[in-house]
Structure formats: structure tokens, C-alpha cells
């Protein structure tokens, strides 16, 4: 089971600098997560799925983009696992997959709002457009 998707797994571990084996499965990250309700996979599942190499479902899940990157899980984790960094690393994995495009220049006009800083749109495009 742990061999599944081994390359992606080690790449994500390398990129995030997180060692998921340190997780003792207490669930404090999930207990803390403010975005819990909107997520399909929750922080502790994230850690476990990366640990077991079960990354494909994560990459396909909307949960990736529900994470607010508020770092509450990182702050509370008693073992220093840092789940939010794993989420970010999986996000990057998605982005770096060729052809994947989460944001197109065409879709930007619809997003423009008065409250949204322009900089946020530019950086989002940089990150999510391939």
C-alpha cells in the first residue's frame, strides 16, 4: 500500500519538508480546522493519505482549495507535523502537472470585485495558471 505512487509521495514530502510519519494520529489538526465543514478530506486524512501514498484522490479533491492556509493545524500539532504545508505541496503538485489549469485569463473579469485586491488576482493567476 505504501508503494502506491511512491514518486509523487516522496516529491511531496521533499517539497513540503514535512515528515508525515511523525503523526501520532491525535486529530488535533482536524479538531482545530476552521474549514472542516467544507472539506471532503480533513487535515489528519491529508497527513495519513500522503503517508500511505494515496495522493491521487487528494489531487482530485476540491478540499485542496478549501484549506485557508490559516496554519491553525501547524500551530496546534503536538508533534510538529505541519499539515498545512502538505496541503500546499499537494496543491503545487496539481499545478505542476502539465495541462492542469485552474484559472484562465478569460475567467478573471467575472472575478473582479471592488473588495478583492488586484494583487490577489495577479498572484492567483501566477500560481494557478499554467
Partner 1 sequence: MQRIGVFVCWCGSNIAGTVDVKAVAEALRSEPGVVFSTDYQYMCSQAGQEIIKEAIKEHKLTGVVVCSCSPRMHEATFRKTAQAAGLNPYMVEIANIREQCSWIHKDMETGTQKAIILGRAAVAKVNLNAPLIPGQTPVTKRALVIGGGIAGIQTALDIAEAGFPVDIVEKKPTIGGKMAQIDKTFPTLDCAACILTPKMVDVAQNENIRIFSYSEVQEVKGFVGNFNVKIKKKARFVKEDVCTGCGICTEKCPQKKVPNEFNLGMDNRRAVYIPFAQAVPKVATIDADYCTMLKTGKCGLCAKVCTAGAIDYTQKDEIIEEQYGAIVAATGFNPISLDKFDEYAYNQSKDVITSLEFERLTNAAGPTAGKLLRPSDGKHPHTIVFVQCVGSRCAACADKGKEYCSKICCMYTAKHAMLTRDKYPDTDVYVFYIDVRTPGKNFDEFYRRAVEEYGVHYIKGMVGKVSPQGDKLMVQASDLLANKQLHIEADLVVLAAAIEPDKSARSIATMLTASMDTNDFFTEAHPKLRPVESPTAGVFLSGTCQGPKDIPETVSQASAAAAKVIGLLAKDKLTSNPCVAHADELMCNGCSSCANVCPYGAISYIDKEFRMPNRTTAIRRVASVNPAVCQGCGACTVACPSGAMDLNGFESAQIIAEVDAICR
Q: Residues 8, 9, 20, 32: which binds partner 1 (CB under 8 A)?
A: 32
Find out whether 64 and 127 touch, Cβ atoms under 8 Å. no
**Residues comprising the chain, all counted:** 130
Alpha helical stretches, state H, 1-130: 6-16, 28-32, 43-51, 56-60, 63-66, 72-76, 83-96, 108-111, 118-128
What minimum distance in Å lies between the beta carbon of 70 and partner 1?
A: 12
Of 24-32, 52-60, 103-111, 118-126, the window that binds partner 1 (rule: CB under 8 A) is: 24-32
Torsions phi, psi of 22, nearest 5?
-70, -15
> Which region, judged by CB under 8 A, interacts with partner 1, from 19-27, 91-99, 102-110, 117-125?
19-27
Q: Which of residues 109-128 bind partner 1 (CB under 8 A)?
A: none
Task: State yes or no: residue 22 binds partner 1 (CB under 8 A).
Answer: yes
Residues 19, 81: contact at Cβ < 8 Å?
yes
Return the residues of window 41-100 that contact partner 1 according to CB under 8 A: 42, 44-45, 72, 76-81
Instruction: Specify the residue, 81 or 89, whose C-beta has the smaller distance to partner 1.
Output: 81
Distance CA 5, CA 73 (A): 25
Q: Which residue has the cell 465543514?
A: 37
Nearer to partner 1, 17 or 80 (CB): 80
The binding site for partner 1 (CB under 8 A) comprises: 22, 24-33, 36-37, 42, 44-45, 72, 76-81
Amino acid at each position: 500500500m505504501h508503494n502506491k505512487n511512491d514518486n509523487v509521495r516522496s516529491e511531496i514530502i521533499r517539497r513540503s519538508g514535512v515528515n508525515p510519519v511523525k503523526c501520532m494520529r491525535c486529530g488535533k489538526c482536524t479538531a482545530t480546522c476552521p474549514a472542516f465543514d467544507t472539506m471532503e478530506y480533513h487535515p489528519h486524512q491529508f497527513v495519513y493519505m500522503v503517508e500511505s501514498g494515496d495522493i491521487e484522490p487528494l489531487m482530485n479533491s476540491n478540499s485542496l482549495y478549501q484549506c485557508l492556509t490559516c496554519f491553525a493545524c501547524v500551530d496546534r500539532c503536538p508533534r510538529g507535523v505541519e499539515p498545512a504545508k502538505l496541503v500546499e505541496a499537494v496543491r503545487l503538485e496539481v499545478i505542476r502537472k502539465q495541462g492542469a489549469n485552474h484559472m484562465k485569463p478569460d475567467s478573471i473579469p467575472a472575478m473582479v470585485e471592488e473588495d478583492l485586491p488586484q494583487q490577489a488576482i495577479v498572484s492567483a493567476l501566477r500560481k494557478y495558471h499554467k
